[in-house]
Amino acid sequence: MKIKLTLRYVLSMIMVFYITMIVYTILNIVIYKGNFSFGEEVFNLSFSTRDFALEYVKDLEEDNDLRLSNENIDKLIDNNIWIQVLNKENKEVYQANKPDKIPVSYSTYELVDFITDPWGSSAPTTITTNKVVNEGEEYMLLVGFPIDKVYRYKMTFTDESMLYHLSIIVFALILMTIVAYILSKYLVKPMVSVVDDINDLKNGLYKNKPIKNGVFEEVSKNINELSNVLKENEIKRTEVDKVKEEWIANITHDLKTPLSSIKGYAELIQGNDYVVDIEEAKKYSSRILDNSNYIQELVSDLSLVYKLKNKVIPINLKNENIIILLQENIIDLLNNSKYTDREINFNYENEKVISLCDKKYLKRAINNIIINSLEHNSKGTVVNVSLLEEEGRIKIIIEDNGQGVKEEDLIYIFDRYYKGVNSNSSYKGSGLGMAIAKEIIIYHNGSINIESKVGVGTKITIVL
């Protein structure tokens, strides 16, 4: 890949050079044929001394007295151009707008020197010459252009000098190729390294690479940051997958146990080996119903958590007094035969704290949290529920003095795949209670946070 990119870069540089030269040549042809100008009326981009002089040759040849038209004379004066007509003896026979320092006659040597090197004369100018024929006589026309407007450079070539200039062109091309190659290495090498780093990310190799210098420094830093994020996500995904598998195993076990019980009682009632009387049938039916209700509750919880996660449950928001809502929660729990001997305290300051919420689901969330504290702690554990109002926000704090949660387990408490059942608890839950609670609070645009310390207790704060 590196060789490919380098060759492409070098070839592209050479192509750019030649394309530029071709475009330059085409532009020159168009300009000189199209009389383009950036403001100059005479000395524009397509100005030609030859074409300009021919116009005056034609005017002089048409007049028998070798005289210019007034229009052409004005044009010379306006543009600081002069003309001089010489006979065969190199003597002036006519002039227009000629400077005083230009002589009226020349020796052959002086004339040749003046024409070939007018810049070193007493009147620096740029000279062009033409032949004028008038009434059978031949004359020489000298046209002098202002030296700050028209420039002329002459080059003389021999076979040896031509070879020299061609060598220079070839050397320039080789030098350009070498420079292009060096630049390509400077650009291509880190580019190839960046591509390799991206391929590593694609293949799941998340590791920090040395920061590259130059134009790819920022790209290199971003790739390293992306690598760290992907690595963290991969670790988290692996952990979640592991917990998910454990949760599925738990759910499978929780479903298998009641289903086995239901199947056993059903076979017992239906079988011919043992006669079941009415009382036994009612007892077995009651256990079948309990196990069926448990399965139904399990499936219902699973469905609810996903519906909440995907926000497909209609929430009926109304202004509710949170004090009454919490009181109802606590009373319902203490009236439950399982929790009549448990202690739940409710602390609040105001008799009326209003919040826009769905009473049914908010009660469900708080109920799940309190039950979690009751079920996974000993009977002597005290649960304190407190309600505070701070800066327009409502805080519900559910705190217990139970055994607490290990720090490494805290991050999974609200995960829908986590089932942290205490070995001393006989509670059979789906492991979805806390996940449901969190989704309900989030659905109410609230937040939920947990703090816990082993041997001290757990504190859950809900902010609405």
> Which pLDDT tens digit goes with each residue over 78-92?
999 999 999 999 999
Q: Where residue 36 falls among pLDDT bands split at 50, 70, 90? A: low
Structure confidence at residue 425 (pLDDT): 47
Domain ranges of the chain: 49-145, 217-306, 316-463
Q: Which residue has the higher pLDDT, 423 or 307?
A: 307
Q: Where residue 6 falls among pLDDT bands split at 50, 70, 90? A: low
Q: Which token pair is 340?
A: 């009549």
Dihedral (CA of 254, 260, 263, 266) sign: negative
Does residue 385 surpass a pLDDT of 80? yes
Among 429, 416, 414, 408, smallest CA distance to 460 is for 414
The CATH number for 316-463, chosen from 3.40.250.10, 3.30.70.20, 3.40.50.12780, 3.30.565.10, is 3.30.565.10
3-class state of residue 425 by DSSP = coil
Q: Where residue 56 falls among pLDDT bands split at 50, 70, 90? A: very high
Q: Which helix (H) or strand (E) holds 10?
A: helix 2-34
CATH level 3 topology of 49-145: Beta-Lactamase (3.30.450)
Q: Which residue has the higher pLDDT, 23 or 68?
A: 68
DSSP per-residue codes, 190-249: HHHHHHHHHHHHHTT-----PPPPGGGHHHHHHHHHHHHHHHHHHHHHHHHHHHHHHHHH
- What class, spelled out in words, does domain 217-306 have in CATH? mainly alpha
Does residue 461 surpass a pLDDT of 70? yes
Structure confidence at residue 422 (pLDDT): 44
Relative to beta strand 447-453, strand 92-96 is: unpaired
Q: What is the pTM of this model?
A: 0.47
Does residue 354 surpass a pLDDT of 80? yes
Phi, psi values for residue 144, rounded to 5°:
-105, 125
Provide the strand spans (E) within 246-392: 318-321, 343-347, 354-357, 382-390
